[in-house]
């Protein structure tokens, strides 16, 4: 993920640097300075500073890219066991054909060669998926077996693997394996482990590496790290082009006038008398003036910005408010060139898993028999009232026992006893929600202890109970429920069913659930707290009822056509007349302060799009939890399976918005990856944007990494707004690189996102300070630094032009060459750097507390073409005042008491120029920098005027310092010129702050006198309802959904092995093979 390597550094670095027009211009000046007799300032006056600027930039780039290489090495040097010489040895990933990244599973530690993986790093899904080895290889569970297989598979005559070429399709793989001269065995996605997947609840697997390095699907879904430039830099480049043409115009004008003077007889134009020397030709004169005026474009600007941005990046890393103590992780600016971009973000694209959430499911509350147990506060589930009611004579005691029993047996979880310690039980759950429920039952006293193909065993408050599993009706996204039919220890047959409240309530026995309405209200209360809910229902069956239904179910299970639908129809026959037991509430644990951060972003005018690979239902649940969605918001759901359907749905939404198209409306768009595949086509992109930009919130679910990148690129290119992408997994790398700004979360899913990002933070809520404070400060600091850098050069080098009007445009310089160089290096170097590092428009407290202030930097009013040329006009005014007042003051030589007379216009103008630049800045930076710079001028003057004759430099300046400082006219001119030059600035500031003040200026004044900022902003803080002012658009019922309660169920569908088949294969009482 690094930006450079040894071979590409110089060409790539130089290309990036010389794509900045300023550097390209100075390269041009350096070249023409080498022409003899052209440069009035020497051959190296531009080349030296340019080399210095490029060297500092190169060092900064190397430091930042070294961090990327270091992070890459941590990944590429990870250890893996490789079979060599008949035994497994540890090797670095990079030494196994670059890196083992895509495995064909040969054998695994679970029954029948199965293993569990989590693909959150690839697609954002936290539920576990099952991968299964081929039956022909599943029994190879020892080192010797694998060694024999390795010899066979590596033999040209005996074995080989054929597969499709590298591609970016995560969910597809086609291949064949041939060994022992048998018929080819088909390989598919169910045998493939992708790089980035994590092995879970499986002790070991043996695998065969197929794709490695950049051929892996993970890397196929990423792009090369792009060269990013800030919007401010683009504006600066545009202004440099204008300045270049201005420079050419001034040089042409000067050369033309010079030609005119050269044609005038010498006795008339005595100042251009060449005394026998021929005048320079027009072309040479033109080049001379180009070199003379070249510093209208400040060469010091680039190095100043590099220093400022680098230090700003350090300040971001040193901010303790963005330091995560638990993992010892500070914020980090990996690419400091984009600091000012942080203050102008309009769209944030966020991953869900690991970015908004913690990847942790916690059982928090439940309702049993109409009574609520547990609390949203604290950690986990802890309510002693439930234990008291269970063990006492409470009316709900029977219901509580039924609920806890159901939580312990109605699932597809596998108990895994460790071979070395049988007392430890680890649960293997395909659904993290089921794991949370089973663990909650265990903590209360109903422990799920064993599973065999036909039974489940629990310990109910210390008493062992064995239930015979008669049937399992699996969960899928259509049914939104799962059921088990068991024979209880007392011989009764019971059906336990859990699922979404809508499907459970539709199947309740009429009048058989007296507390159904009360539970429904409690479900809404859980939803308000952002919890994922499940309803629990139960039905007793007679033997005859079950046997009759079981025949129907077996017939459906063996059907050759339309089997899935027939199974669902059979389930409908038995899953009815349920008695409601209660409901559970699980927290998909959000990172701290996520809802508050999202609310603050909305207040700041930042639109949040959530792009996740997770299921639609899960994504919507999180949307409600983090307050991205609310109950009053209409949900526009687009999940069509073909182009025509997507087009028709989007066009209906466009028509419904009417005049409110591309405006803020109280609606949310939820679209899945399959629909996006069609919506991102060329003909539908603008329609998709019309709908998306008309919604307050957007959630894209089941999207691939490539689709995430395409969505970001679409908004970036079409909307022309600053975009930011934030994520923590390898599946987020594409969108992080596509956005103007990429931010990686240092989370649980590895370092890939951080390595590819421009900035890294440990928690999502740190984004608030990064944007509102550091973004605001950096933007204003950089803008002022750039404007001041141009301004100070104008005021020096435009004086050269005015001087040319009185010297016959001879190309003569007004200032000493050394003083010109020191002007930028010493006299005026510290003030712009001080602005760029220390200037604060507003306090951190105000910027965080009132997000509306962020809109001030989004407007881009501080630095744009208009502001740039207003500063230019101001500089022209100041140069006119400085030059012509000094000319008037010293049009006649100044007499001294000893009868001598002297003129010192050049040094006088330089001093007035320096003083005015520093006094102009006096309102913005510390007095230490201002007065220090002024003192530096006097120190330099004393030193420089003393060099000659000891050092052959500045002979014409010898002794000038004492003469000038003793001259009363000198001091009087300094005062008069400074007052007249700055008078306009102060008058304008008074008028502007009195009648046309900006919001930022108002808040500055309120901060200064400790006024009521909240009243001024009319309560615009993050506590307000952020959607209440938006219009609500009415849509047809078939196009919208309002999911007040989200059911807690996330499980792989259509996997290698069905959940019902999986639990029928397991016997937790049998020890698993060790794989040694």
For residue 1007, give the nearest of 779, 844, 834 by alpha carbon: 844
C-alpha torsion 878→883→887→893, nearest 10: 120
For residue 115, give the nearest of 103, 125, 124 by alpha carbon: 103
Structure tokens at 12: 């790539």
Q: Identify the active-site residue in 180, 238, 328, 351.
A: 351
Structure tokens at 617: 């239902």
Residues 6+ apart with CB under 8 A from 74: 751
For 835, counting Cβ atoms within 10 Å of its Cβ (0-12 exposed, 13-18 middle, 19+ buried), the class is buried
Angle value at C-alpha 735, between 733 and 736, nearest 5 degrees: 60
Helix (H, G, I), strand (E, B) or coil at 128: strand
For residue 519, give the nearest of 712, 366, 694 by alpha carbon: 366
Q: Is the peptide bond before 949 cis (omega within 30 degrees of 0)?
A: yes
Rounded Cα gap, residues 334 and 63, in angstroms: 9
DSSP conformation letters of 36-71:
TTT-TT-SSTTHHHHHHHHHHHHHHHHHHHHHHHHH
Asked about 351 being catalytic, the answer comes back as yes
Backbone angles phi, psi at 628, to 5 degrees: -75, -30
Segment (H or E) for 187: strand 185-187
DSSP category for residue 320: G
Rounded Cα gap, residues 160 and 154, in angstroms: 7
Rounded Cα gap, residues 156 and 557, in angstroms: 43
Q: Dmax of the chain from CA atoms?
A: 132
DSSP conformation letters of 623-663:
HHHTTSS-TTSEEEEE--SSHHHHHHHHHHHHHHHGGGTTS
Distances (CA, A) of 318 to 329, 332, 776, 987: 11, 9, 17, 40
For 660, counting Cβ atoms within 10 Å of its Cβ (0-12 exposed, 13-18 middle, 19+ buried), the class is middle
Assign residue 536 a region: left if phi > 0, alpha if psi is -120 to 50, beta otherwise? Answer: beta
Backbone angles phi, psi at 550, to 5 degrees: -60, -35
Determine contact, residues 334/736, Cβ cutoff 8 Å. no
DSSP conformation letters of 649-715:
HHHHHHHHHGGGTTS--SEEEEEEHHHHHHHTSTTTHHHHHHHHTTSSEEEEES--HHHHHHHHHHH
Catalytically active residues are 351
């Amino acid at each position: 993920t690094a930006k450079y390597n040894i071979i590409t550094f110089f060409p790539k670095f130089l290309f990036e640097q010389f794509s900045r027009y300023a550097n390209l211009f100075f390269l041009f000046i350096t070249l023409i300075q080498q022409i003899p007799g052209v440069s009035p300032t020497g051959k190296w006056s531009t080349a030296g500073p340019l080399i210095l600027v490029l060297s500092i930039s190169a060092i900064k780039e190397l430091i930042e890219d070294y961090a990327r290489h270091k992070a890459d090495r941590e990944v590429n040097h990870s250890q893996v066991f490789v079979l060599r010489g008949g035994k497994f040895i540890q090797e670095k990933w990079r030494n196994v054909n670059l890196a083992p990244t895509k495995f064909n599973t040969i054998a695994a530690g679970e029954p029948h060669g199965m293993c569990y993986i989590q693909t959150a790093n690839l697609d954002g899904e936290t539920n576990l998926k099952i991968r299964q080895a081929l039956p022909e290889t599943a029994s190879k569970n020892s080192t010797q077996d694998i060694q024999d297989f390795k010899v066979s598979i590596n033999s040209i005559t005996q074995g080989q693997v054929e597969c499709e070429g590298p591609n970016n399709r995560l969910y597809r793989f086609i291949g064949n394996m041939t060994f022992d001269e048998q018929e080819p065995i088909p390989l598919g996605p169910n045998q493939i482990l992708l790089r980035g997947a994590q092995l879970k609840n499986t002790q070991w697997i043996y695998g065969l590496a197929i794709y490695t390095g950049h051929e892996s699907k993970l890397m196929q879904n990423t792009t090369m790290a792009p060269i990013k430039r800030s919007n401010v830099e683009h504006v600066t480049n545009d202004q440099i082009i204008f300045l270049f043409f201005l420079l050419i115009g001034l040089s042409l004008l000067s050369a033309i006038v010079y030609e005119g003077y050269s044609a005038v007889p010498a006795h008339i134009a005595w100042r251009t008398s060449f005394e026998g020397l021929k005048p320079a030709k027009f072309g040479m004169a033109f080049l001379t003036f180009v070199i003379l005026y070249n510093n209208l474009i400040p060469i010091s600007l680039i190095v100043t910005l590099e220093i400022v941005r680098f230090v700003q990046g350090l300040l971001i890393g040193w901010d303790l408010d963005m330091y995560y103590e638990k993992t010892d992780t500070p914020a980090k600016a990996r690419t400091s060139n984009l600091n000012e971009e942080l203050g102008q973000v309009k769209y944030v694209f966020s991953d869900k898993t690991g970015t908004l959430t913690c990847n942790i499911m916690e059982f928090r509350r439940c309702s049993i028999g109409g009574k609520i147990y547990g609390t949203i506060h604290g950690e986990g589930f802890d309510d002693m009232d439930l234990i008291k009611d269970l063990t006492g004579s409470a009316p709900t005691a029977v219901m509580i026992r039924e609920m806890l029993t159901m939580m312990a047996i109605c699932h597809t979880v596998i108990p895994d006893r460790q071979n070395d310690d049988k007392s430890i039980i680890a649960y293997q759950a395909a659904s993290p929600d089921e794991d949370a429920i089973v663990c909650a039952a265990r903590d209360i006293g109903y422990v799920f202890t064993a599973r065999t193909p036909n039974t489940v065993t629990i310990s109910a408050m210390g008493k062992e109970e064995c239930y015979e599993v008669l049937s399992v009706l699996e969960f899928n996204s259509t049914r939104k429920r799962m059921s088990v039919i068991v024979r209880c220890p007392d011989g009764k047959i019971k059906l336990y069913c859990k699922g979404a409240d809508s499907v459970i309530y539709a199947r309740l026995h009429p009048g058989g659930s007296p507390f159904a309405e009360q539970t429904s209200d409690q479900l809404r209360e859980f939803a308000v707290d952002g919890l994922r809910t499940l309803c629990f229902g139960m039905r007793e069956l007679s033997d005859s009822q079950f046997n009759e239904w079981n025949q129907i179910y077996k017939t459906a299970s063996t059907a050759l056509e339309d089997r899935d639908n027939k199974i669902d129809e059979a389930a409908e026959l038995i899953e009815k007349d349920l008695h409601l037991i209660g409901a559970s509430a699980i927290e998909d644990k959000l990172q701290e302060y996520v809802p508050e951060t999202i609310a603050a972003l909305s207040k700041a005018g930042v639109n949040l799009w959530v792009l996740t690979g997770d299921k639609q239902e899960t994504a919507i649940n999180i949307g409600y939890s983090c307050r991205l969605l609310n109950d009053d918001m209409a949900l526009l759901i687009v999940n069509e399976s073909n182009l025509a359907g997507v087009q028709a749905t989007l066009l209906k939404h466009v028509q419904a918005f009417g005049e409110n198209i591309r405006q803020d409306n109280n609606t949310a768009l939820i679209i899945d990856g399959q629909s996006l595949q069609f919506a991102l086509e060329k003909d539908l992109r603008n329609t998709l944007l019309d709908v998306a930009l008309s919604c307050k919130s957007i959630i894209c679910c089941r999207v691939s990494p490539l689709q995430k990148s395409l969505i970001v690129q679409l908004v970036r290119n079409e909307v022309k707004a600053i975009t930011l992408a934030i994520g923590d997994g390898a599946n987020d790398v594409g969108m992080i690189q596509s956005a103007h700004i990429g931010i990686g979360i240092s989370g649980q899913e590895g370092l890939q996102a951080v390595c590819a990002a421009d900035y890294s933070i440990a928690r999502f809520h740190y984004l608030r300070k990064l944007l509102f404070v550091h973004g605001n400060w950096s933007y204003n600091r950089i803008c002022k630094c750039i404007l001041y850098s141009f301004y100070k050069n104008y005021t020096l080098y435009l004086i050269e032009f005015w001087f040319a009007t009185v010297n016959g445009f001879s190309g003569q310089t007004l200032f000493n060459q050394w003083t010109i160089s020191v002007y930028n290096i010493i006299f005026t170097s510290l003030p712009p750097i001080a602005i760029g590092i220390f200037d604060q428009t507003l306090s951190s407290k105000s910027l965080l507390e009132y997000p509306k202030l962020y809109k001030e930097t989004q407007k881009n009013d501080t630095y744009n073409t208009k502001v740039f040329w207003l500063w230019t006009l101001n500089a022209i005014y100041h140069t006119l005042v400085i030059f012509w007042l000094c000319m008037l003051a010293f049009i006649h030589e100044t007499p001294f008491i000893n009868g001598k007379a002297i003129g010192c216009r050049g040094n006088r103008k330089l001093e007035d120029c320096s003083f005015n630049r520093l006094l102009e800045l006096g309102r913005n930076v510390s007095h230490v920098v201002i007065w220090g710079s002024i003192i530096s001028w006097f120190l330099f003057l004393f030193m420089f005027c003393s060099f000659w004759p000891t050092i052959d430099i500045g002979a014409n300046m010898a002794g000038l310092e004492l003469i000038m400082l003793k001259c009363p006219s000198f001091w009087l001119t300094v005062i008069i010129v400074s007052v007249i030059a700055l008078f306009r600035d102060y008058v304008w500031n008074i008028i502007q702050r009195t009648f046309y003040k900006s919001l930022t200026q108002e808040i500055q004044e309120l901060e200064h006198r400790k006024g009521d900022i909240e009243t001024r902003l009319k309560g615009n803080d993050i506590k307000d309802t952020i959607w209440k002012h938006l219009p609500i658009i009415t849509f047809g019922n078939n196009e919208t959904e309002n999911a007040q309660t989200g059911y807690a169920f996330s499980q792989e569908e259509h996997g290698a092995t069905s959940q019902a088949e999986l639990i029928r294969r397991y016997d937790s009482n049998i020890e698993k093979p060790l794989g040694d």
